[in-house]
């Protein structure tokens, strides 16, 4: 595990491991096991996948899923150009043809036909049928399917079926502890240690608050924004108000309450 983490320091995108997720992901990749990553917004899911693609030396095809995403958007479609009809591969098909990691971010946002389209790639067949061209693609050994979602947004209408979940090995992500988050802020912004620690402690405190009924808690990403603003000379309270409080809520009363907490913790 120590040897794996050491790879990140020189050439790869920085990622600070929290547990044994790097080792688990590498093992899954080596054994052609699809991976599901679940965790709150801004906890490092996408950064982790980018880092692992670089560590493994694989191409990364990222799809930001949304409610209008169809199976054709993933697989491909016929287009018309210069008076002719031609086929254009979607990102999933490209990943299968060329090898690499296909990452479906917030997969629960996609339409149901999109979910069904990935099923043949998540069992021992590892195939992708393309009905419109009559092709049946066999995924190469270095193809890997990874999906992610935020369990906090799940409801009866948006969520993966158990039959889909059980096609994946799952990794649960969460926000880092104070020490780890301090190091992440330092690495990403090169700010003063005291500021990085203050912001990490502030985030830890805000994440404990339940009475404000926030849809999302403060992410590491927002802390990095705040640190960069402060480094550029913005007043810390103004920087945190803009980067944290205003980003977490549109409710004026909630924003004011968050700013009071920020003021108490940064003074």
Domain termination site, one of 145, 172, 199: 172
Instruction: Point out which residues pair with 128 in neighbouring strands.
Output: 137
Tokens read off for 161: 């079926």
Check: CB of residue 176 under 8 Å from CB of residue 218: no
pLDDT digit string (tens) for 111-142? 888 889 999 999 999 999 999 899 999 999 99
pLDDT digit string (tens) for 164-176? 999 999 999 999 9
Among 97, 167, 93, 101, residue whose Cα is nearest residue 130: 93
Tokens read off for 204: 């830890």
- Specify whether 159 is located in the same domain as 212: no
Q: What's residue 10's pLDDT?
A: 41
CA torsion sign for 228, 230, 233, 237 is positive
Name all contacts of 219-225 with Cβ < 8 Å and 24+ positions apart. 219/40, 219/41, 219/42, 219/43, 219/175, 220/42, 220/43, 220/44, 220/175, 220/176, 220/181, 220/184, 220/185, 221/42, 222/42, 222/247, 222/248, 223/181, 223/185, 223/199, 224/184, 224/185, 224/188, 224/189
- Specify whether 44 is located in the same domain as 158: yes
Measured in residues, the chain has a length of 267
Q: What's residue 182's pLDDT?
A: 96
Tokens read off for 141: 């050994």
Model pTM score: 0.85
pLDDT digit string (tens) for 180-229? 999 999 999 999 999 999 999 999 999 887 555 677 889 999 999 999 99
pLDDT at 4 over 70: no
244 — pLDDT class (breaks 50, 70, 90): very high
* Residue 38 CB-density burial (10 A; 0-12 exposed, 13-18 middle, 19+ buried): buried
Secondary structure class of 68 (helix, strand, coil): coil
- Specify whether 90 is located in the same domain as 187: no
Q: What's residue 102's pLDDT?
A: 97
- Specify whether 208 is located in the same domain as 161: no
Q: What's residue 210's pLDDT?
A: 57
pLDDT at 155 over 60: no
Mean residue pLDDT across the chain = 89
Domain termination site, one of 125, 146, 172: 172
- Specify whether 68 is located in the same domain as 7: yes
Domain termination site, one of 140, 172, 204: 172
Owning domain of residue 227: 178-266
- Specify whether 40 is located in the same domain as 94: yes
Alpha-carbon distance of 11 to 250, in angstroms, equals 39
- Specify whether 85 is located in the same domain as 163: yes
- Specify whether 108 is located in the same domain as 234: no
84 — pLDDT class (breaks 50, 70, 90): confident
- Specify whether 137 is located in the same domain as 204: no
Mention every residue, 6+ apart, whose C-beta is less than 8 A from residue 7: 55
CATH number, position 61: 3.40.50.300
- Specify whether 204 is located in the same domain as 260: yes
- Specify whether 126 is located in the same domain as 25: yes
11 — pLDDT class (breaks 50, 70, 90): low
How many domains in the chain?
2
Q: What's residue 82's pLDDT?
A: 80
pLDDT at 157 over 70: no
Three-state SS sequence of 5-52? HHHHHCCCCCCCCCCCHHHHHHHHHHCCCCEEEECCCCCCHHHHHHHH
Among 5, 7, 13, 11, residue whose Cα is nearest residue 188: 13
Q: What percentage of the chain exceeds 90 in pLDDT?
A: 71
First-to-last C-alpha distance (Å) of the chain: 39
Lowest average pLDDT, out of 9-18, 103-112, 114-123, goes to 9-18
Instruction: Point out which residues pair with 127 in neighbouring strands.
Output: 138
CA torsion sign for 72, 73, 75, 77 is positive
pLDDT digit string (tens) for 19-54? 899 999 999 999 999 999 999 888 899 999 999 999
- Specify whether 187 is located in the same domain as 218: yes
């Amino acid at each position: 595990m120590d040897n794996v983490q050491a790879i990140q320091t020189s050439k790869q995108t920085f990622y600070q491991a929290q547990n044994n997720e790097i080792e688990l992901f590498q093992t899954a990749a080596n054994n052609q096991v699809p991976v599901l990553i679940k965790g709150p917004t801004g906890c490092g899911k996408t950064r982790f996948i980018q880092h692992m693609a670089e560590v493994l030396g694989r191409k990364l095809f990222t799809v930001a899923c949304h409610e209008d995403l169809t199976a054709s958007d993933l697989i491909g479609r016929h287009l018309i150009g210069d008076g002719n009809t031609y086929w254009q591969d979607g990102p999933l098909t490209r990943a299968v043809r060329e090898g690499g990691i296909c990452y479906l971010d917030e997969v629960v946002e996609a339409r149901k036909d999109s979910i069904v389209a990935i099923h043949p790639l998540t069992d021992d067949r590892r195939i992708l049928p393309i009905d419109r061209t009559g092709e049946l693609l066999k995924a190469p050994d270095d193809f890997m399917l990874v999906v992610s979602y935020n369990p906090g947004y799940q409801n009866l209408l948006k969520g993966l079926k158990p039959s889909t979940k059980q096609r994946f090995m799952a990794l649960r992500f969460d926000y880092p502890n104070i020490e780890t988050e301090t190091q992440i802020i330092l690495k990403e912004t090169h700010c003063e240690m005291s500021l990085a620690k203050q912001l990490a402690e502030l985030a830890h405190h805000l994440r404990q608050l339940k009475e404000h009924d926030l849809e999302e808690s403060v992410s590491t990403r927002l802390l990095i924004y705040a640190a960069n603003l402060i480094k550029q000379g913005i007043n810390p309270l103004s920087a945190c108000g803009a980067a944290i409080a205003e980003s977490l809520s549109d409710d004026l009363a909630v924003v004011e309450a968050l700013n009071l907490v920020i003021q108490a913790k940064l003074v």
